[in-house]
Amino acid sequence: MGKINVMNDNLINKIAAGEVVERIANVVKELVENSIDAESKNIKIELIESGTKLIKVIDDGIGMSREDARICFYRHATSKIKNENDLYFINTLGFRGEALAAIAAVSNTTLDTYDGKESTLINIKAGKILSEKIGSMRKGTIIEVKELFYNTPARLKFLKSLNTELSNTTAFIEKIALSHPGVSFTLINDEKVVLKTSGSNDLYKVIHEIFGLNTTKNMIKINAENYDYVISGYISNLNIQKSNRNNMITLVNGRVVTNPTVNKTIKDAYHTVLAENKFPIVVISIETDPTIIDVNIHPTKQDIKFSKLESLTDLLFNTIKSALNQSNNTFKGYIETSYRSNNINENTNIVNDYNEYTLNDKFNSVDEVVEDEINTFEPKKYESIRLNLDSDNEEEVVYNEDEIKKEDVFIKPVGLALGTYLIAQDEDIMYMIDIHAANERINYEKYMRELQSDKVYTTDMLFPIQLEYSKNEYMNIKDNLDEIRKLGFEVDEFGDNTFRVTAHPSWLKEGYEEESTKRIFELMGEFKNKFDRIKFNEKAAIRLACKMSVKANTNIGPLEEEELLNRLFKCEFPYTCPHGRPTIIKYPKYELEKLFKRVN
């Protein structure tokens, strides 16, 4: 007798369920996506004990006929595609026809649906229909999933705690709500509302409903397109920093997806302005022709491949970088005041930003700030607070009208605190500047300009220097000697594993020429394979800027303080050092008066 057996349908369905249904959030995902595909505008998710006892999804979609209600629980039964060609033009969230069969195979499931003509109520357990009768005649569909994983105890055992399961489900609902702002979502656990969105079709308002006002007011709007992609959405400025990438949300044609290259591109766009271990909040919608993406990679349909990935990454990187460079990223050194309005859920934090809500005739007291004012607030696209501290500055100065009220406002130094922090002020705001971080930013941008310049000026060295390396380092540097010479170094091989440098670029800091040369050569030796000039320039500028900047606890005089301010605010991005640490922290006059109890 042969050893190979053909598995029965029940066993096949249990195995297949493991690919689609790993935890409660997966069940919610599949059911909610079906509701969206059914053109629902209101979707309610009700859980009992985080979904371990009950998962119930109620929608107001188009519903199903009796025949479709029976067939939908078959494996690979779907209304989304009909032939192979449809795989290249997928415009729905679901299409594989696996989810309902997988869920029904490991649970006790009830389907109540009405398509406007006929109503059907089906109960199915372990993949087998137990009963079928007339349903509730309510528009849309209701699906209840009970006893999840009752017949697969191993998978039931690996469910996490109730809080963890609820957290994962909530995270998914947040993301799907952002991808479909025109749909109202309500998530309820144990009869308590966990999350609710309005379905206003306004992405900015949905961000406010999910993340709160403080986050919303620190978001920057982006829009861009090329021949292949259209991107839109919001990215956070540097006042919002997270310890993980969970809030970097990318949406492709309305689908919540993950792509390591896209995530890396977004993080790279924040490089040198955000610390390496910190991450932004981004909600970016990517629209493209379905033929240049592939979502049929994994049963969960969250992984995605792009056939023109470089076109997308270039567009994302340049758009985000440009938006950050032209926006107000000054760090706030105070906790923003919270307000409560009768029109707002008491769990919603209404936060006053001195720059956005001035206490003038419009608001007699802070209590009069109501939700309508919050909802009408829009982030300004590509704002700038470039300040002119030098009348000889050739660049045109752009003022942020919310921050700078008069053209003659300027920042002046007050003094140095603790040998490290420069205190400065204008007529309304006090600033604290980290002199080392500020100097790093100034030097970093200076070195970046020089490294990117086509014009190279060299200076002969009075005493040539010799640089000796290990054999491996020597070979790596030797492979890139042409690149070193393009920078303005005159260099020759000089004996075993040694180079002799007789001239250097004229922009190296005086007194640090030899040390700077060593750093550049060492960095060049780190490129073992293909040399990347862009990465080299950035790393070289960071290393040189850090070493050549004034150190903390270094006393500087009034003229040096003014020069530091002057040069810092001429920088393209004055808000952080190249490692992502703040250079400037602001304290508006009103916030200081609150600290000293001068105002309420």
**What is the rounded distance in angstroms from the CA atom of residue 139 to the CA atom of residue 59?**
8
Where does the pLDDT of residue 386 fall: very low under 50, low under 70, confident under 90, or very high at 90 and above? very low
Angle at 324 between CA 321 and CA 328, to 5 degrees: 165
Domain boundary among 165, 196, 227: 196
Q: Are residues 85 and 184 in the same domain?
A: yes
**What is the rounded distance in angstroms from the CA atom of residue 242 to the CA atom of residue 332?**
16
Q: Which residues pair with 434 in a beta bridge?
A: 421
Q: Are residues 187 and 212 in the same domain?
A: no
Which pLDDT score is estimated for 303? 62
Q: What are phi and psi of 503, to 5 degrees?
A: -155, 155
In this structure, are strands 229-236 and 282-288 parallel, antiparallel, or unpaired?
antiparallel
Strand runs labelled E in 442-524: 458-468, 490-493, 498-505
Q: Is 2 domain-assigned? A: no
Q: Which residues pair with 435 in a beta bridge?
A: none
Domain boundary among 158, 174, 196: 196
Nearest alpha-carbon partner for 262 in 228, 305, 218: 305
Residue partners of 4: CB distance under 8 A and separation at least 6: none
What does R_g of the chain's alpha carbons equal in angstroms?
30
Q: Which residues pair with 234 in a beta bridge?
A: 221, 283
**What is the rounded distance in angstroms from the CA atom of residue 283 to the CA atom of residue 206?**
11
What CATH number did the domain enclosing 35 receive? 3.30.565.10
Q: Is 381 domain-assigned? A: no
CB-side neighbour CA atoms (13 Å) of 345: 13
Domain boundary among 376, 409, 438: 376
For tokens 């500047």, the residue is 433
In this structure, are strands 42-48 and 184-189 parallel, antiparallel, or unpaired?
parallel
pLDDT digits (tens, 9 = 90+) for 290-344: 777 766 554 444 567 777 888 888 999 999 988 888 877 777 766 554 433 333 3
Which pLDDT score is estimated for 324? 87
**What is the rounded distance in angstroms from the CA atom of residue 583 to the CA atom of residue 581?**
7
pTM (predicted TM-score): 0.69
Q: Are residues 235 and 369 in the same domain?
A: no
Where does the pLDDT of residue 87 fall: very low under 50, low under 70, confident under 90, or very high at 90 and above? very low
| Residue range 515-538: mean pLDDT, rounded | 81
Q: Are residues 556 and 429 in the same domain?
A: yes
Q: Are residues 183 and 309 in the same domain?
A: no
Question: 568 vs 388, 435, 444, 451, 573, CA distance in Å?
Answer: 10, 10, 11, 19, 9
**What is the rounded distance in angstroms from the CA atom of residue 502 to the CA atom of residue 516?**
14
Is pLDDT of 419 > 70?
Answer: yes
Q: Are residues 126 and 64 in the same domain?
A: yes
**What is the rounded distance in angstroms from the CA atom of residue 16 to the CA atom of residue 7?**
12
What CATH number did the domain enclosing 597 receive? 3.30.1370.100
pLDDT digits (tens, 9 = 90+) for 547-594: 777 766 677 788 888 888 888 888 888 888 888 888 888 888 888 888
| Residue range 13-40: mean pLDDT, rounded | 75
**What is the rounded distance in angstroms from the CA atom of residue 110 to the CA atom of residue 53?**
14
Q: Which two tokens stand for residue 541?
A: 């500028």
Residues of the domain holding 583: 390-600
Q: Are residues 432 and 569 in the same domain?
A: yes
Q: Is 29 domain-assigned? A: yes
Residue partners of 238: CB distance under 8 A and separation at least 6: 273, 274, 324, 329, 331, 575, 576, 582
What CATH number did the domain enclosing 245 receive? 3.30.230.10
Q: Are residues 187 and 99 in the same domain?
A: yes
Nearest alpha-carbon partner for 51 in 210, 172, 195, 190: 190
Q: Is 281 domain-assigned? A: yes
Which pLDDT score is estimated for 109? 87
Q: Are residues 229 and 358 in the same domain?
A: no
Instruction: Tell me what the pLDDT averaged over the chain comes to.
Output: 75
Q: Are residues 101 and 157 in the same domain?
A: yes
pLDDT digits (tens, 9 = 90+) for 51-60: 888 999 999 9
**What is the rounded distance in angstroms from the CA atom of residue 584 to the CA atom of residue 418?**
16
Helix (H) or strand (E) holding 525: helix 513-525
Q: Are residues 180 and 150 in the same domain?
A: yes
Nearest alpha-carbon partner for 537 in 475, 451, 414, 432: 451
Nearest alpha-carbon partner for 564 in 397, 434, 439: 439
**What is the rounded distance in angstroms from the CA atom of residue 139 to the CA atom of residue 114?**
6
pLDDT digits (tens, 9 = 90+) for 480-502: 788 888 888 888 888 788 888 88
Q: Is 383 domain-assigned? A: no
Q: Is 382 domain-assigned? A: no
How many domains is the chain partitioned into structurally?
4
Residue type, 141: T
596, 590 Cβ separation under 8 angstroms: no
Q: Are residues 13 and 134 in the same domain?
A: yes
